[in-house]
Amino acid sequence: MAAPRPGQMIEVVQFRRATVTDDGFSEVRTFEDYATPQRARKIDASDGERWTAAEVNASITARFQFRRNEVTEAITPKDRLTCRGIDYEITGKRELTDDRQFLEFSTVARTDRS
């Protein structure tokens, strides 16, 4: 897949790092903002994929493309990202180009939760 052009990287994405704390009864996972917001290209799933996902569990899928840097390099599927007020779980991470300048994150967001 081709690298995104600068004019395509219009989304502002905030990564959120998972932290686990013990509240005395169980371990509780919370998410805190991690690093500064990053620019990305967001690619929504096709209509067919969205329709199928909505039927199964009311979720949407999207891919986010980022320039590789120390922030995006440190992100793992344990983390999350927020874009336009929607929290996305990271389901995959891959190199987008052979020159290793860009990364792509596969994500899913639940739309049936408030």
Per the domain annotation, does 14 fall within a domain? yes
Total of domains in the chain: 1
pLDDT of residue 112: 64
Per the domain annotation, does 38 fall within a domain? yes
Task: Kindly give the confidence (pLDDT) of every residue in the chain, 114 residues in length, as a single tens digit, with 9 standing for 90 and above.
Answer: 688 887 999 999 999 998 888 888 998 889 999 999 999 999 997 555 555 655 555 678 999 999 999 999 999 999 999 999 999 999 999 999 889 999 999 999 877 665
pLDDT of residue 15: 98
Looking at residue 70, which CATH number applies to its domain? Answer: 2.40.10.270
Evaluate the CA torsion angle 93, 31, 14, 60 in order and state its sign: positive
Q: Structural domain of residue 34, as residue ranges?
A: 9-110
Q: What global pTM score does this model have?
A: 0.84
Per the domain annotation, does 1 fall within a domain? no
